[in-house]
Chains A and B, each alone.
Chain A
């Protein structure tokens, strides 16, 4: 069967699967805080078309394949639609997107310059990246402000032995849009993934990552910030599976919610039988800036092995009044003191971004988003 025919077959399969299961809703285990069916129906997803992607400048050494060309090479075929489980919105992005982009970094190649993958417009989209053995790269994934009504992105990432990927996803303010991005990652031996998910407010935003640490010594380090105001809804859902020994995962998410916004974090960690010597840590904290803002933080651990270390913590709170008084008593006006304390709260989750330019970009977006997040509900 030709690649094009295989893709068509896979697309039909995805379409059937999406039709049977439909839109995720509250009674889906992982969608209890973000009821997508209540705001969107399956027909809208199907008719949304294909979202846009753009890479202005491709760093030397990175291979690119445009997924709108049906006759895909073998490395694309091995990955596209095959990484991770087949969740319903993943199937939708596969069934309804006409295009997208596939990237590959060959064995041993180190790409220093970030690959800037811009995503815009409305509709479904797929992108994938394959890092071969010992390769390393940074992907910066900024989303456009005008997200359109709906965007549903399916992402696949495979990291071969010793490969290292830094991934910074930045979703700016888009108060009218529904944005869903589901990522599936597979990490081989000693591969490392550093993911940062920043969100500055959509009508409903869902960022989901399923990570399988499949090889010994593989590591996933997730961090993220959400700075939300008005009626924004941001949902970060992660599932990290420790499937091999001595695997490590860390997660650090900090959310600031003002107005009537809602910040959701669900983090599930599964430690498989064979994952002896694994270590997982997760921290999620939320700062509520208004009595009508809400945060739901839900860490979850499923462990099938005794020889592991797992630590998790989740706290929701307000700015510390003692700290606020201290700063004000030194002459810092209340508004500035609040900003200083919010920045201090977010700092450790931004500081882990490995690339200084990207770190600054995120800080810049935080500064822009803060005034909204600091408003009380209207």
Chain B
């Protein structure tokens, strides 16, 4: 699904990723764990194609294609989805209108027929219920005045609507209490599929109790320094990062 080789990335001239290697298998859930400042968010932004993240070396191949040559919106249409740590508030754009614009833009790019307002409403209603996203939320401006939990639920609702091939969840657990976390994790788990890979990026092991990964990778100092099964997450939680990983200089 996704293969990252020797990736070097700088932000504002500062080297953040320093030779990162990672292989994500189709249909698997991979977790990236790492201390603050290790480059977790940078990795997620580079995959989604955010401006200002300069790739100075290495390659990312996504389903046989060079991901780095694709525009941000093109990546989305081809199935890359980033659930953001801090979803932005956009006053003046209603949530429903945003969802429709986004889904139809992706469909258009793929040459699929677009959904009309009625079709969209039906689809969103069906998916919104399980995630406890209310009609009222859909009518409000995008993320404006949403609680932390509501914002994350809306991210997962988008994931469910867009049906990505490669979903990246950046610190999805941050700012959530345990009930909100369970709800979000449940939403994510129902989206696990044989043709869908996930990259779950988190600082804490807590989220991985609910979204159990197939593989765990430890990111420190801009590189993947350790890999293992789901038990690696527990080990990290017990011993802390310092004991498990030797941060390269």
Judging by beta carbons under 8 Å apart, are A341 and B49 in contact? no
Q: Is A8 an interface residue (CB 8 A)?
A: no
User: For window 304-346 of chain A, which residues contact chain B by CB distance below 8 Å?
Assistant: 320-323, 325-334, 336-337, 340-341, 343-346
Q: How far is the CA of A102 from the CA of B105 in the complex (A)?
A: 51
Given A345-B92, A348-B92, also A326-B87 (CB < 8 A)? yes
Q: How far is the CA of A1 from the CA of B102 in the complex (A)?
A: 70
Q: Is A146 an interface residue (CB 8 A)?
A: no
Q: How far is the CA of A11 from the CA of B51 in the complex (A)?
A: 62
Judging by beta carbons under 8 Å apart, are B76 and A330 in contact? yes
Q: Is A66 an interface residue (CB 8 A)?
A: no
Q: How far is the CB of A49 from chain B (nearest CB, A)?
A: 43
Q: Is A347 an interface residue (CB 8 A)?
A: yes
Contact with A along B147-161 (1 / 0, CB 8 A): 000000000001000
Q: How far is the CA of A327 from the CA of B72 in the complex (A)?
A: 9
Q: Which residues of B contact A331 (CB under 8 A)?
A: 73, 76-77, 102-103, 105-106, 109, 162
Q: Which residues of B contact A328 (CB under 8 A)?
A: 49, 71-73, 76
Q: Is B118 an interface residue (CB 8 A)?
A: no
The number of chain A residues touching the other chain, given as a range, is 20 to 34
Judging by beta carbons under 8 Å apart, are B84 and A326 in contact? yes
Closest residue of chain A to B90, judged by CB? A323
Judging by beta carbons under 8 Å apart, are B90 and A325 in contact? no
Judging by beta carbons under 8 Å apart, are B92 and A334 in contact? no
Contact with A along B61-78 (1 / 0, CB 8 A): 000000000011101110
Q: Which residues of B contact A337 (CB under 8 A)?
A: 73
Q: Is B50 an interface residue (CB 8 A)?
A: yes
Q: How far is the CA of A112 from the CA of B72 in the complex (A)?
A: 49
Judging by beta carbons under 8 Å apart, are B102 and A332 in contact? yes
Judging by beta carbons under 8 Å apart, are B92 and A327 in contact? no
Judging by beta carbons under 8 Å apart, are B90 and A341 in contact? yes
Q: Which residues of A contact B158 (CB under 8 A)?
A: 330
Q: Which residues of B contact A326 (CB under 8 A)?
A: 84, 87-88, 90
Q: Which residues of B contact A329 (CB under 8 A)?
A: 48-50, 72-73, 75-76, 82, 84
Q: How far is the CB of B168 from chain A (nearest CB, A)?
A: 10
Judging by beta carbons under 8 Å apart, are B105 and A336 in contact? yes
Q: Is B57 an interface residue (CB 8 A)?
A: no
Contact with A along B90-114 (1 / 0, CB 8 A): 1111000010011101100100000
Q: Which residues of A contact B72 (CB under 8 A)?
A: 325, 328-329, 334
User: For window 30-88 of chain A, which residues contact chain B by CB distance below 8 Å?
Assistant: none
Judging by beta carbons under 8 Å apart, are B87 and A344 in contact? no
User: For window 275-327 of chain A, which residues contact chain B by CB distance below 8 Å?
Assistant: 320-323, 325-327
Judging by beta carbons under 8 Å apart, are A332 and B101 in contact? yes
Q: Which residues of A contact B162 (CB under 8 A)?
A: 330-331
Q: How far is the CB of B52 from chain A (nearest CB, A)?
A: 8
Q: Choose one: A325, A327, A330, A332; the contact of B50 (CB below 8 Å).
A: A325
Q: How far is the CA of A83 from the CA of B158 in the complex (A)?
A: 57
Q: How far is the CA of A322 from the CA of B76 in the complex (A)?
A: 16
Given A330-B102, A332-B101, A333-B105, also A344-B91 (CB < 8 A)? yes
A-B pairs with beta carbons under 8 Å apart, 6 shown: A321-B51, A326-B87, A326-B88, A329-B50, A332-B101, A336-B101
